[in-house]
Structure 1
Amino acid sequence: MISMPNSHRRGFTLIEIMVAMAIFTLIGLASTGVLNSVINSDQLSSERFAKLEELQRAMLTIERDILQIVPRALRVNGEPVSAVISGGEDVLNSDADGLGFVRAGWHNPQMLLPRSTLQAIGYRLQEEQLQRLYGNYVDNVIGYEPKIKILLSDIEDFRVSFLTEVEQLEKPEEWEESYSNANIPIAISITLVSKTFGEIRREFILANGI
C-alpha cells in the first residue's frame, strides 16, 4: 500500500522563528530590568537601614552622655576654668556649634583601672562628620590631644541650645544659643541636619539643672 504524503505537515518558517526569538528576547530584557530594579532597591534599602542604625546609635550615645552631666569644671591647657559646660560657636574648633562637659557613669569596676568614673566629653562638627571627643582623664596635661570617634557622616549642620528658665521650655526660639557657666542648665537641645534624614532635634531635660 502506497502512503500519500500529508500536505498539512510543515515546519516553522524563518519568520516564525525570528518572531519567537524576538519575544523571548523582550521577555529576557524585561526580566533583567525588573531584577536589576529589585537589586538596586534592596541595596538602597540596606544602605538606608544601615544609616538609620548609625543614627540611632549616635543618638543613644549623645543621650547617655548628656543625661550624666555633672557640675565638674575642667582644666584647659593646664589652667582651671569655672564653666562646667561650654557650648555654641567657636567651641572645640567646630565648623558649626560645639559642646563640652564632664559626664559621670564611666564604668570602672572596683576602680581597677587607673582613672576615675568621670570623663571629659566634647561634640563638634568637622568635614561633615559629627565627632565625639573623649579622653581617659578629666584634667589633661598641656598639649594633650583627645581621642576622636566619628558618630555620623554627611552632617551639614550641628546646633546646640540651652534652657535656663522653665518658662522657655515651650518657646524654642527663646533658648540660648551659647552657654558657658558654672551651673548646669535645665535642658540642652541638639539639632542635626543630615543629608539623608533632614533636620533632627532632640531635647534633654537635666536632673542636675532643675
Structure 2
Amino acid sequence: MNPRTVLPSTGYGIRCARPAESGAIAALLARAFADDPVMVWMVPDSSGRERRLARYFRLAQRRQRPRAGGVRLAATGGGQLLAAALWSGPGRWKASAVQELATIPSYAHVFGVRGLPRAADVQNALHEAHPDAPHWYLPTLGTDPAIQGAGVGSALVREQLAHCDRLGQRAYLESSKASNVPFYERFGFRVTHEIRLPDGGPPLWSMWRDPSPGR
C-alpha cells in the first residue's frame, strides 16, 4: 500500500457495471493506464493521452457489454468507482472480421491516422499469441491510481478466478508491465510467452492459469 492510499471508510463491493457508468469507467481506466508502456507507445503524446484512452476504453466496454458480467466493478455503495475489470468468457474474446472493420473509424479517432498502424500491430501480436484452448480472458484490469496497492484490484481478480475454479475453467491475460507479473503469479498465473512488438515496441507477457479447486 503506497502513502497515497486511502480506501473509502464505507468499504466497497463487487458488481456488474451499469450502462450509465460507461463514461466514468472509461475515465478510471484511462487514469490507470496513463503510464502503461504499451499505451504510451501507441499514444506518445502525454498531453492528450488520458482523453484518447478514455475513448478507447469506451470502445472496449462496448465490445464487452453484450456479455453478462463482461464489465465488473469494485465500487462503494455511494457509487464511487475504485477499479474495473473487463472479462470475456470462453470462445468470446475475439471480434468477428465484420466487427473489426466496423470499428476502424473509431480506432482512428482514438489513435490518429499515424498511431493506428501501431494499434494494429499490438492487436495482431496479441491475436497471434492468444491460446486456442477454451478460457476466460482478462484483457483489462485497472484501479484508480489513488488507491493502487490497497487490494481492490486483487478482489476483482479473485472473484472471477473463484468462479473459474468452481467450474474447472482456465484463465488467460497479457501483462504489459514486468512489475505486474508477480502480482498475477500470486493468483496462480504463469508466464507462457513473451510477446515482442515490432519497431522497438515494449514487451508483453502471456500468462495462463489452470483451475485450482483447492484454492
Q: What interval of TM-score do these two structures reach, taking the shorter chain for normalisation?
A: under 0.3
* TM-score of the pair, normalised by structure 1: 0.25
TM-score relative to the length of structure 2: 0.25
Larger fraction in strand = 1
Structure with bigger RCO (C-alpha 8 Å, 6+ apart)? 2
Identify the structure with the greater helix proportion. 2
Structure with larger Rg: 1
